[in-house]
Structure 1
Amino acid sequence: MMRQLYSMLCGMLALTLLATGCIPRADQISSERRVANYVEQGGKTGIVGKVFIKTGGAPLAGAYVNIYPDAISNLLGPSMFISLPTGSDGSYSLDVPAGTYYVVARKRLSGKAMGPLSPGDYYSEHQRVVTTVVPGKLAVVDMPLVVIKAPMFFKKEVVESQTGTGVRGKLVDVSGNPVPGGFATAYVDPEMRRLPDFASTLSDENGDFILYLPGAGTYYLGARIHAWDMPRPGEPYGRLGGDNPQPVIVEKGTFVEGLTIEMLPFDGEYKPGKSRRPI
């Protein structure tokens, strides 16, 4: 009975927040954007486009475009290809072989091509932009960027390749609907008010995620939408087991299957001074 009452209250809160625009609906969170626009230019094969500021559409010079062959690393860290800095009109061009790629754009105020992102830097939001390059054509991928307003975090360790050990599960909201564009976080102990030890791939349109782990162990799972700062009030947030984190025992060479993490509107207190200590 208490659980039903809690779910009903959370549902009412979620509807209020959705109505006021405080949190996005699940169908507004885009986990993947596929681009299939092409031009021909002397038989060249690759990717071209423009990088611009999402609000207002002004071209963004000095940005770098990274090309990844897969999304296992959550599009962080070294990429397979990286462009020269974008020109004054925000344009970039990359010669890459035919194949399917993930495209990410970033501009650091430091001017560096690589390194952690900081407040004031620009990035192409938390979604996957995918394009397929075909021989003799240039895929046209324009990238809107937004400003980071708080220090980004993601995970302490990066599992850069698919391993045979991990967790497969689903992110859902209070009504049981899938949450795309989020990610599961993993910790090696139940103290989850810190930087995650590992993170999953972004959840797809069905809310499904894959969390690759380097080895066997006991893990505690959470779920987030944004990869920075503490959760804000109303932001979808979840922990497997709720207030009593549930341990998940993972054996080497196997996947724990079918876990569901429910994401509720965060009702904790936001502390600006703790922004570098994400919860």
Structure 2
Amino acid sequence: MLLSQAWERYESDKRIEGFSPQTLKAYKLQSGLLIRFFTDAQLDTITTDQLKAYLAKSSETLKPASLAHRIRFMKSLFRWSHEEGHIPKNPAAKIKEPKTGKRIPKFLTEMEIEHLREACCSPMENALFEFMFSTGCRIGEVVTLDRGRINWMNRSAIIRGKGDKEREVYFNIRCEIWLKRYLDNREDRDTAIFVTERDPHRMSIATMRYIIKRISNRAGINKDIHPHQLRHSYATHLLNNGAPLDVIQSLLGHEKSETTRIYAQLSGSIRQECYRKYF
């Protein structure tokens, strides 16, 4: 079996298993690089030493975190190939990821958040900014969110996170005001919560990033601001106001804490109560 054929079958299986479109898109890019390096060789002819040579070449241009991502894909592909009986031995079994130092998340101060708020100049910008900050959602979770997943009575939304898992997130009154104002002004019938300004259709991740960058440029903040900083700022805001760490992890959709302790599952009612109390 050729590498390209293995990838096609692997992708089909992982799609059935519920891998997110974002993960499959990233893995497709990695598969293309792997196939090109090995000129689409037969799967069972690839050795551990050859894979290490590929990674050694990759390490010349990739940071440790990016190299680790490449290794995770490679190990997943060859483990699947071995389990499915396409190869007698897994050549990636003993390959280890590089150690990556833990970085302190970059967050925005309350002053910077207020400057960003003032720099929003349309209901759409205000709604997007407030929703991302007050829910702590990942940008991919906001992109896939539909209007029908909003519970206005509860000021909450059901979003689909990593691993295709659903969770309930909450937003504050300020966000509710701007979100309703934005949606009331729209004339399209697209189901997406956020759509493009011209020829309305579901907003892409790239467009959302551009809008946040546009807002930050107007605000004049001397920082390279990106959407994930709003998520970090959300978590920091809750932590600074006394929210328990396990509640924050639950709201963010993390399975376990950074200190590797077991993730504390909380009921939706407790998470909602803690959100109302601390945000």
Higher percent of residues as strand: 1
Tell me: higher relative CO, structure 1 or 2? Use CA pairs within 8 A at least 6 residues apart.
1
TM-score of the aligned structures, taking structure 1 as reference length? 0.25
Higher percent of residues as helix: 2
Larger radius of gyration: 2
